[in-house]
Amino acid sequence: MDRGFNPRTWVARTGAARPRWARAHIEVFGADRVVLLAAGIGTQAPRRFNDGRLVAAACFGELVTLDPTGTVYFRGGSRVTLGALFHAWGQRLTASRVGSFGGSRVRVYVNGRERDGNPRQVPLTAGAEIVLEVGPPVPPHTHFTFPPKPSTGLR
């Protein structure tokens, strides 16, 4: 088992319908730099990639990334948060730190509106555009145009 893999997983019972995947778009800015979310967050090895995109994995958790575009897929009906995403990614998220960037307050925007409180508790909701910033302000996007859902990778 991959020691870095720690999200909760979903296991199908015989005859059980699989839940649909929802998605949110996450943008991270630290010290005036764009931080890419890695492909394969929330999956367990062995993994197979094609041109930087995850096309297969041994196991998928409640939330996953297939490529470094910031699109996070999560099981419909699940209650996942930014804290769960950063935990699965193995990166820090606190009121003053995003990954290795810190020193000032982390600002979180959901669909263009600033959100107060603990950034780890911000829920991922279907279609949301979530921007995290630490350091100089970057004008947050208010929406994201999602590409068509992938035909491979998620099961």
Query: Model confidence over 20-29: pLDDT tens digits?
Result: 899 999 999 9
Query: Model confidence over 83-127: pLDDT tens digits?
Result: 999 999 999 999 999 999 998 999 999 999 999 999 999 999 999
Cα(93)–Cα(119) distance, integer angstroms? 7
Q: What pLDDT was estimated at residue 149? A: 75
Query: Model confidence over 123-139: pLDDT tens digits?
Result: 999 999 999 999 999 88
Q: Which among 82, 100, 90 is positioned nearest to 31, based on CA atoms?
A: 100
Query: What are φ and ψ of residue 111, in 5° steps?
Result: 55, 40
Q: What pLDDT was estimated at residue 10? A: 43
Instruction: Let me know: does 24 contact 124? Beta carbons within 8 Å.
Output: yes
Q: Which among 61, 59, 35 is positioned nearest to 124, based on CA atoms?
A: 61
